[in-house]
Amino acid sequence: MKITRLTTFIVPPRWCFLKIETDEGITGWGEPVLEGRAHTVAAAVDELADYLVGKDPRHIEDHWTVLYRGGFYRGGGVHMSALAGIDQALWDIKGKALGVPVAELLGGNVRSHIKVYSWIGGDRPSETAAAAQAAVARGFTAVKMNGTEEVQYVDSYDKVERCLQNVAAVREAVGPNVGIGVDFHGRVHRPMAKVLVKELEPYKLMFIEEPVLSEHEEALKEIARISSTPIALGERLYSRWDFKRVLQGGYADIIQPDPSHAGGITETRKIASMAEAYDVALALHCPLGPIALAANLQLDAVCYNAFIQEQSLGIHYNQANDLMDYVSNPGVFAYQDGMVAIPNGPGLGIEVNEDYVRERAAEGHRWRNPVWRHRDGSFAEW
């Protein structure tokens, strides 16, 4: 079998899909995207395609190694996201060629379903209690919300109070047994993160995500010492070498690599295994499309330390299209009682509606994250 063509599709709301074709008529799909940099990642896929065309798609580990190491410069969001989508599509091809799901090729399932959480609110949390109640009414047993708006290095206590009020309202609305994740989104700097982490303890959160940016290892170490709430991070780390420092330092209780950013199925499986050796939980990052979710679920099937899965159904970013729009078998994502089933069809287990993908790619997107500023005019982390 030989690879004949790689084609990318920029589709709404903010995704990039990849189709890899072979001379035997077996095709694979991946989702190589970095939110806000979709066209850049697509260009990187096109550059990597020069090596792949004419190669046997089943030699996944060797292709990953060459595409990672063979360009001299390596790592980072764009390179690893391009490699991730290619890797997903190669696993999809191999599974289809053998008539088995990817999880079967990775050793077989340790679970048939996994717990999922629903995003509530938007970038500026408001009316979050009602959104949380609605999510619970739809069967979700865990939710995640943004914790803060713009926060200066040292800010006034009203910013803290607003965060506490939002979280308190959600906890009161859903009761004591629904998991609540609060995402600081890297918006908060060390001085205020220390305050917020301690003030949030009474609400018994499922986790606090990115209390500070992941590069601030010293701050993470201090926060980990003072917090009884599990600390989660990892969506902006892209390889096992990035995660090595975090795991060795004991800064995180939950890691959140994104299989569409962190080198695909091949690399994310290795990251998950590293985390298991440090007794750290896995909660894969995935506010993306159906191909990405399918790849995540194949990993959840085989990673023992996976405990919950992010997914984008109804997320505030999905304005033009939603998660199920691009698949011909949307029932494959069987949500029930706050869990989703692991797809068991060949490859990634989904059927991409290529005609609709091409139709929406004609419109495309140029999604960009907002640029925030503090009251003094300086840039604020989004």
Q: Rounded to whole angstroms, how far apart are CA atoms 185 and 380?
A: 12
Q: Estimate the crossing angle of helix 264-277 against helix 77-98, to 10 degrees.
A: 100
By C-alpha distance, which of 23, 3, 41 is closest to 367? 41
CA end-to-end span of the chain: 45
In whole angstroms, give the CA distance from residue 374 to residue 382. Answer: 11
Residue with token string 């619970």 = 136
Rg (CA), the chain: 20
Q: How far apart are CA 56 and CA 140, in angstroms?
A: 42
Secondary structure of residue 67 in the 3-state scheme: helix
365 is catalytic: no
Q: Tell me whether residue 39 is one of the annotated catalytic residues.
A: no
Find the catalytic residue in 185, 216, 316, 374: 185
Alpha-carbon span 146 to 137, nearest angstrom: 20
Catalytic residue among 113, 261, 285, 365: 285
Closest listed residue to residue 188, CA positions, set 209, 165, 171, 206? 209
Interatomic CA distance for residues 322 and 331, integer angstroms: 14
Number of Cβ within 10 Å of residue 374's Cβ equals 14
* Pick from 326, 308, 241, 292: nearest CA to 34: 292
Residues designated catalytic: 185, 285
